[in-house]
Chain A
Amino acid sequence: MSVPNDLQYTAEHEWVRLDGDIATIGITQYAADALGDVVYVDLPKIGATLTTGSIVGEVESTKSVGELYAPLDGEVVEANEAVAAAPETINADPYGDGWLVKIRVTGEHALLSADDYRALIGG
């Protein structure tokens, strides 16, 4: 199960790549595998203000629905339209082309390290 060391994580199976005050967000390979084939994603709109822990979107597979939580406070600056058109990208490349949104971070945040997240998912 891939858990890249250069990313940070949440207990809700999301990953965050911080680059200055811009955070790129996606779901982990563990989450993508557990969902099965992703067939629909609903992403927040550009300009939307997010509050940590609030529900901002959803990821739907043939089998089930997962809600997407804001991993930190901020404003949406970009949503991945390519993944909305081809949701299977999330299964194929969850940490790369399968990213979901980019956020300009405004507040403090508390994220998990790769080791913490590995411990959480039992491996």
Chain B
Amino acid sequence: MTLDTPSEHLAPLQQSPLHREHEALGAAFTDFGGWQMPVRYQSDLIEHHAVRDAAGLFDISHMAEISVTGADAGAFLDYALAGRLSTLPLLKAKYSLLLDESGGIVDDLIVYASAEAEFLVVANASNRHAVVEALVARQSGFDVQLADLTEQLALIAVQGPAARAVLAAVDDLELRDDLSRGRTLETLGYYAAMGMAWHGTSVFVARTGYTGEDGFELYVDAEQAVDLWRALLAAGQAYGLVPCGLAARDTLRLEAGMPLYGHELGRSIQPVQAGLGRVVVTDKPAFVGKAAIEAGPAPDARVLVGLSTEGRRAPRADYVVLHGDTEVGVITSGALSPTLGHPIAMAFVDPAHREPGTVLDVDVRGTRIAATVVSLPFYQRKATS
């Protein structure tokens, strides 16, 4: 029996402000992007199903938060990122990309218009320093100030059909009109945010997520994190909320067809190859990577597709995709889908084989398994009000 061994780090791993809570809950930990984070508390499958059927609580404090303030904050982000952020309405969020000059993806990000002339950029833990360095390098000529708030903020996600009810049941988490600006948990739209009052401070509450379910992400001062985490766990008990680790987060996001940096996204991949062409706004006067994006990738550059297989053996990252005896692609993520009951995977394949319904083979450790190209996402929750 072989097991993954944790890689050795030169620098010590960072710990979440919630680390002791996770230990008390019996979490197993994994090294992730320089942080030691919970991989599971009891069972990957129990945690996965809890998010699909009820609610799950995630500590994602390893995510990086960078504030961008100043008179030119919007114009700066229009130049530094692939999207148009200057017109983002106050308290709305947008998914965006940070590109390099060659049009490759340095990171995928969520950007919030968090206040007047103020944005909050949320980056992946493993890319925190690359994002900060790129933003600093691109700020010349703009009146902006950048601040890395990662260690001051904790980030807690509540995901699942019962997420809203769980938040509403937290006694001391209060709507206050000066913070929420007329929004309520019921009226807060998808990819929108508001402030709520919590024990004398405010919590930035966003209706976003990475699981394919309705859900909320709560940005809170690191000192307040334990208090809020415990209150959410207590309030959620009646709704079937369980703490969830990164293993469940990975199967949930895969079912939802959401790309993961280092798997579906990277510096050698242009957005259009990953199905993210719509995220790039090319009719801006200038942005980093513009010339390369306009030239586009080579016509035969591989494109991201979904694959569905039968049985229980899942294609895994780096397995080869075949058409006859020709290698036509490579798997980027794969798992036996807990919700669907059969294996699913994402893969980069030659464009000739991208059409849904195309049947290819995957080499699963020496055995060929037939895989059908399918549209993404694999799983989509039923529309709710």
Pairwise interchain contact B338-A69, C-beta atoms closer than 8 A: no
Pairwise interchain contact A34-B316, C-beta atoms closer than 8 A: no
Q: Which of A44-52, A55-63, A72-80, A105-113 contacts B (4 or more CB under 8 A)?
A: A55-63
A91 to B365, CA, bound (A): 23
Q: Would you give the shortest CB distance from B317 to chain A, in whole angstroms?
A: 10
Pairwise interchain contact B2-A12, C-beta atoms closer than 8 A: yes
A36 to B1, CA, bound (A): 14
Pairwise interchain contact B336-A40, C-beta atoms closer than 8 A: yes
Neighbour of B44 across the interface among A36, A65, A66, A68, CB < 8 A: A36
Q: Would you give the shortest CB distance from B362 to chain A, in whole angstroms?
A: 13
Interface centre among B1, B250, B312 (most CB of A within 10 A): B1
Neighbour of A62 across the interface among B3, B313, B338, CB < 8 A: B338
Question: At the interface, yes or no: B244 with Cβ under 8 Å from chain A?
Answer: no
Pairwise interchain contact B4-A64, C-beta atoms closer than 8 A: yes
Question: At the interface, yes or no: B152 with Cβ under 8 Å from chain A?
Answer: no
A34 to B40, CA, bound (A): 10
- Cβ contacts under 8 Å, B314 to chain A: 40, 60
- Cβ contacts under 8 Å, A63 to chain B: 39, 44, 247, 250, 335
Q: Chain B 1-26, CB within 8 Å of chain A: the 1/0 string?
A: 11110000000000000000000000
A68 to B1, CA, bound (A): 4
Pairwise interchain contact B28-A62, C-beta atoms closer than 8 A: no
Question: At the interface, yes or no: B268 with Cβ under 8 Å from chain A?
Answer: no
Question: At the interface, yes or no: B43 with Cβ under 8 Å from chain A?
Answer: yes
Q: Chain B 294-317, CB within 8 Å of chain A: the 1/0 string?
A: 000000000000000000111010
Neighbour of A65 across the interface among B43, B247, B365, CB < 8 A: B365
Pairwise interchain contact A14-B1, C-beta atoms closer than 8 A: yes
Neighbour of A33 across the interface among B28, B251, B312, B338, CB < 8 A: B28
- Cβ contacts under 8 Å, A39 to chain B: 312, 336
Interface centre among A14, A35, A65 (most CB of B within 10 A): A65
Q: Chain B 325-362, CB within 8 Å of chain A: the 1/0 string?
A: 00000000001101000000000000000000000000
Q: Would you give the shortest CB distance from B149 to chain A, in whole angstroms?
A: 31
Neighbour of A37 across the interface among B2, B43, B312, B316, CB < 8 A: B43
Question: At the interface, yes or no: A43 with Cβ under 8 Å from chain B?
Answer: no
Question: At the interface, yes or no: A116 with Cβ under 8 Å from chain B?
Answer: no
A36 (CB) vs chain B CBs: closest residue: B44
Neighbour of B2 across the interface among A33, A36, A61, A67, CB < 8 A: A67
Q: Would you give the shortest CB distance from A6 to chain B, in whole angstroms?
A: 20
Q: Would you give the shortest CB distance from B290 to chain A, in whole angstroms?
A: 39
Interface centre among A37, A39, A40 (most CB of B within 10 A): A37
Interface residues of B (CB under 8 A from A): 1-4, 28, 39-40, 43-45, 48, 247, 250-251, 312-314, 316, 335-336, 338, 365
The 9 closest A-B pairs by CB, nearest first: A40-B312, A13-B1, A37-B45, A36-B44, A62-B44, A37-B44, A27-B1, A66-B1, A31-B1
